[in-house]
Each structure stands twice: as C-alpha cells, then as structure tokens.
Amino acid sequence: MIVGGLKMTKPTVKLTVVTKDSGPLTKIMSLQGGKLVKDSSQCRMDTGTAQTVETTLAEMPTFLRSLKPNQALVHGTAEAEKARIVTQRAFNSQQGTITRTKDCFNWNDGPGLMFFDYDPEPGATPLNSKQLVAAMAQAMPAIANMGYVATPSTSSCIFDADGNELRGVSGLHNYSIVKNARDLPRFKEALFKRCWLSGHGSIKISAAGGQLLRTIFDAAVFSPERLDFVAGAICQDGLIQRLPKPVYVPGDVLDTSLCLDLTVEEEAQYKQLVIKAKEATAAEATKIKGFYVKTAISKIQAARPDLSETQARKIIEASCKGDLWGDFVLTLDNGDTATVNAILANPGQFDKETFYDPLEPETGPCKAMFYANTATGKPCLNSMLHGGRQFFLHAGHVVDEQRDQDTKQPLMVTDIHSLLAMEIPPRRNLMAPIIQEQSLNMIHAWRGVGKTHTALGIVYAVAAGGAFLKWSAESARKTIYVDGEMPISALQDRLAAIALMNDTEPPEGFLKLITPDLQSGAMPDLGTKEGQELVDSVVDPDTSLIVIDNLSCLVRAGGKENDAESWLSVSEWALRHRAAGRSILFIHHSGKSGNQRGTSKREDLLDTVICLKHPADYDPSQGAQFEVNFEKARGLHGDDVRPFEARLITDDKGRPSWTIRDVEDSTLERCVELFKLGLKQAEIAVELDINKSNVSRALRKAEQQGLIVIQGGAAAKKRNKIDRSAGNEE
C-alpha cells in the first residue's frame, strides 16, 4: 500500500551544481593546539557557474561523492540551465548572468529535492538515518515510506594521522523527492510545528542569549537559493576524512500536502509548548545574554574608543532586539566591514549582498542577506541562522533617541502656508475605528469588569492583524504589553484562550510582554524618569502600540492620584512616544462616580476614552459580560460610538468566543423579561438602573415587535399608543 503518494519507476529531480571560480567552497578542518578546528570562512559564493543537473535518488550516492571541494548544491533551479553567478553589485541583468538570490532561483513546478539538515543537540547521541526518519514520521506518518538518501554532514568522520577518530558523524543530510516542490515553504512550517507536537521541540540559546525554536531538522535550509555544502571537508595538519558511502533507501515520492496545517486546537497546544519551553530556559538565556553584552561592549569600544560604555551598551542591546543602529559594524562575505550608516548611505549598492550574522559572526559567511527595500523605507538584514531572524537597520546613533530629555531644544516654528503645503500622510487605524496611529487612549472600569480581557484582545488583534469585538486591525503591527499585576499563569491562560479565538497569530516579536513574575525586582514606575527609561529601553523603534495595564500599578510616584501633577510626567512620556509615531492605550480603574479614577486632566490629551461596566442585572455567574460606552471619541461618530454589550461564551467543545449586541437591544430584552415576571415600569427602572422613560420606550418597541401585550388603562389612553386588545378580551 502506498502511504506517501506517488510510485514512480525512476523518479528524477532537477537541482543545481554551483562551482566557485577560485578557492574552496567547503569547510576546512585543522588542528590548533591539539584541538580540532572547523573553518567556514570559505563557504561563500562570489562568482562562478551554475549548472542544472538531473538525477534520481538511486544515482545520488555516486553523484554526491563526485562533487569537488569548490562545488556545492542549490536545491532550486535557475531559468537558464547554465549561467554565470556574479555578486549583486556586479549584476546588471546582462544575458547569461544571475545572482544567488531568490530572484534567480525558484522551486521546481512539480517534483523537487527536499533536504533535511539534522544536527544533534550538544551531548546527545546522534540519530542514524533510520532513527531520524522514524522520528519525523511521528509528526507525518507518510515520511516513513518515502525514499531517501542520507550522508553525514560535511565536517563529520575526521581522523588524525594515526587513525584516531577525532569527530564521528556530527549530523546528517537527508535527501528525498517531493511531489510538488512549490509546497515546500508551507510544508516546512506545518512539519516544524507537528514535530513540536510529537515531542521533538526544544529551545536553543544563541550566543547572544536568544531563545531559538528548534526541532530535529533545520527549517532555514528550505529555500531555493541556499547553498548545501556536501562535497566533503578539506583536511589539513595530517587530518583525514573517511566519509562512508551515502545510504540509499528506495521508497515513495513524498506528497507534502498530506502534512496538514494545524487546526485551531493544535495551534493552541503548540503555543503552550513553546511558552513552557521558553519559561524553562529563561534564566539561562538571561545569563548568557548578560555575558554576550559585556563581551560585545568590550569589542565595540576597542574598535570605537570614542564611544562610552553607556553608548556601546545601547548599541549592543538594540542589536539583540533586532535593531542595528548606525555605529553597528557588519561583515560582508568577502571579509570587508561596513557600518550601518555606511550601508544606508548607499543602500542600493548593498542590496541582496550576503553578510555574516550580525550577532554571531563566528558562524561564518553567507548567513544573512541585506534588502534595501527602498520602496517601503525599511531596510533589513535577514539572517538564516538558527531558523531565521530579521534585523532592521537605522541611520544615526541609537543614543540620539535616548538623549537626556532635560536638554533644552529650540522650538520649531512654522507658518500657515508652510503647514498647508506639507505632505503629511493621513493617520491610519491600528484598531479601526477606535485606535489610530499616534493616538493616546484609555479604557477604564471597576475591578473585575473586563479591562484586561479587552486590553489583551486589542493588543493581540493589532499584533496579528486580526479583529476583536466590533473592531479590526488593518495589518499586523509591533506591540508591547506592560502588565502591572496579573500572575503569569493567569496571563498565559488568557493569551492561550485568545489564541484559540483567532485564526491568525502575531508574527515573531510582534507582541512583547512585560510581566511582574519575570522580574527580579519591582516593575518600572512610569511616574519616574528611571521607570520611563526602563520601559523605553525595551520598546523597538518600529513599535506601533504600547499598552499600560494599569495606571494604579505602574504610576506610583508624582503625587496623589487626584492631583494633576501626578499625571504630568506620564503625559510628557506619552507625548514623546506619540511624536515617535506610536500609540498608547492606558488601562485604568473607574472611580465611585463611574468616571475614570483621579484627575480629569488625564482626559484632556486623550483621543478615545472607553468605559466598561456590567449590565445593571449582571450576576457573577454570567462570567465576562460588560457594556462598552464611549465617553470621548475624537473624530468618531454614529455607529462607531454606539454602545454595545460584549459577553464571553464557551461552546460545547470548550472553545471561547465573544458575542456582541447593541445596548439598546440588550435593554429591550431585559425590560421584556422583567415585564413578563410582573414588574411594573417603575420597578423595572429601579432594577435596571435606567430612567422610566427608557423603560417605557423599550416596552412600546417590544409591543410593536409582538413580544408583549400591554394591558389597557389610563396611562395607555393618554399615550394613545397602547394596543387595548387585552381589554377587549375581558
């Protein structure tokens, strides 16, 4: 029985052999001080040739061993069967030349080569090819029946001159043929997550302290232009490499479509596994990051003696968050170095050039590619190391944004003609229609009404480009959520429930969280300059929304809550972020009057103020249920500010969701319910805490809809709007 898909007599596949013009295109193994050293500095492709070849799995063992030290594989193919490879800077689209980029290499439309790159965890016993396939088959059963060729990685099986083994099999390259190579990008994501679900997920802590998601294959190699170094190593100092013949196991062509995307429930389970794994490695990651930052500061100060330790620290800490500022030095594949400022001075010259990884240059060349992105104005460096990461490049100095706010700046003055002539882009919605770009907003409510439910729902939707209640985000934006009091277990449960309710999830790094249980000390006090700087230090430059939950916990200095002065420093901090293009959402408590607690001066700067409150007949057994009322809505009107009621429900499968309805409809239903119980209008008004006129309107509307019959009487005669059919029945 065929499980994996196609059975073909001799399935063939096309791929590319690249040949470097000068020098090796593989790793160099040597002895230094009696220790085995691996040098990957020559694993870069500047110029050479690309030749499309066609082979079968059965022929691959011989084919792999025929590759020379200046050759490597590319699993995609170019349009021309043979072409010259040149650098991006030298490329001008002349006939017969290509660059080793995705612009020139694509997956085959049909059968293609799939490559699993396996590296065992440090200290773990390596899996052999049969064990590797069996492990992946736990995530996708069809893999068990696929044909494959397996060979040890390039730096494996190294012996000294006396025949002593210095390194055994240190990893595997596993090759298979898939039915549709164009599906490989989707398949990679689905299989990666299913490997986690089958117990093969782990966290690798990078040299810079990053917590990297790993599984039993390297997801970064699933790209049609990537180099596959499989020719064997160059050995020096009397070393010998004894690679065994690649293993060939006949079988099916793999139908990757059999690996389905995760269901909503599976996605939630995967996210929980990741959260727990990161929690378990958080302390070690923090320790390693501290050591990395300290070492990197020393290196950058050695190269730039004019930088203070504070300046150097800010540069390094920004790079760890994915932001490379002007003074940061990058290394190109040819060994040349350039600062970010130099690259951004002429971005087109460096577009699609390959670099060393910015945080781990010791891993060798050809790890990252620069994209000028002149159309969007967001130049970036995409690193393929550890499964991939994106870095954004910024001109200038990181210390410019962190300058002392006490330094007096000259006032900038314009006139009406200049202002009207300015090309100012319109503000877009972060969460349509309630939160715009560069806006200051507040949600307040009494304890237990639903402030955090709402705040987390909004920030998740903005980060994922999704929707919450009646509002929706136009696109995914970077956010940060500062929580002042919730236990981390409760926060985890809330976010897991929100993830279940959403079909989309935030991209990596788009929803960051600061929570008390992960801190060694107290949470920052936004009423102080030190607290503001502490929060600012973890806000990425391209962050669009900051949520502060809540003011009572996170603003402790600056005077009493009712004093206007207590809000002064916080408002200045918020205005600075607004000037930098960000929006703020403050979460606050309601006072006894039902208004936001403390000084009313807070509302002067705010664009939108929303009050949440329980319905008048609310019972705690009903769970999360509240009315949404707009107290201030700059630029909003009509249906956008119509009050509505939200309620969190759970279906019979345990999946949560929100239901919404207009408050007017909710009031009508409650009036009808109480009317049928025999309560009079005055009693209904007291029960629901609304005016008798509202009760009267609701009952008349209900009668018009045929929901109730109001008995005749003097009051009905005066209004002349009551059906007296009940009186006729008497």
The model's pLDDT over 423-469, given as tens digits with 9 standing for 90+, comes to 776 778 899 999 999 999 999 999 889 999 999 999 999 999 999 99
pLDDT above 70: residue 668:
yes
- Helix, strand and coil percent figures for the chain, each rounded to 5: 30, 25, 40
CB 342 within 8 A of CB 396: no
Q: What percent of the chain has pLDDT over 90?
A: 42
Identify the pLDDT of residue 65. Answer: 94
pLDDT above 80: residue 482:
yes
pTM of structure = 0.55
Identify the pLDDT of residue 175. Answer: 97
- Gyration radius from the chain CA atoms: 32
Which element (helix H / strand E) includes 29?
strand 28-32
Taking the C-alpha atoms of residue 551 and residue 573, their distance in angstroms, rounded to an integer, is 13
| Average pLDDT, integer, range 172-196 | 95
pLDDT band for position 716 (cuts 50, 70, 90):
very low
Report the Cα 482 to chain-centroid distance in Å. Answer: 17
DSSP 8-state code for residue 594 = S
Identify the pLDDT of residue 713. Answer: 40
Query: What's at 452, amino acid-wise?
Result: T
Identify the pLDDT of residue 100. Answer: 86
pLDDT band for position 724 (cuts 50, 70, 90):
very low
Identify the pLDDT of residue 19. Answer: 96
Q: What is the pLDDT of residues 110-127, one digit of tens each?
A: 999 999 999 998 888 889
Domains along the sequence of the chain with CATH: 10-256 (no CATH), 286-401 (no CATH), 429-613 (3.40.50.300)
pLDDT band for position 398 (cuts 50, 70, 90):
low
CB 441 within 8 A of CB 585: yes
Pair of tokens at residue 613: 């409150």
| Average pLDDT, integer, range 517-524 | 83
pLDDT band for position 712 (cuts 50, 70, 90):
low
Task: Pick the more confident residue, 571 or 374.
Answer: 571
Identify the pLDDT of residue 677. Answer: 84
Q: What is the pLDDT of residues 417-427, one digit of tens each?
A: 787 887 776 77
CB atoms inside a 10 Å sphere around CB 165: 10
Q: What is the pLDDT of residues 42-54, one digit of tens each?
A: 888 888 999 999 9
Q: What is the pLDDT of residues 53-99, one digit of tens each?
A: 999 999 999 999 999 999 999 999 999 999 999 877 677 667 788 98
pLDDT above 80: residue 412:
no
Residue 35: is it exposed, middle or buried by C-beta count within 10 angstroms (0-12/13-18/19+)?
exposed
pLDDT above 60: residue 404:
no
pLDDT band for position 304 (cuts 50, 70, 90):
confident
Average pLDDT value over all residues in the chain: 85
pLDDT band for position 561 (cuts 50, 70, 90):
low
| Average pLDDT, integer, range 302-306 | 81
Q: Going by DSSP bridges, is the β-strand pair 12-20/227-228 parallel, antiparallel, or unpaired? A: unpaired
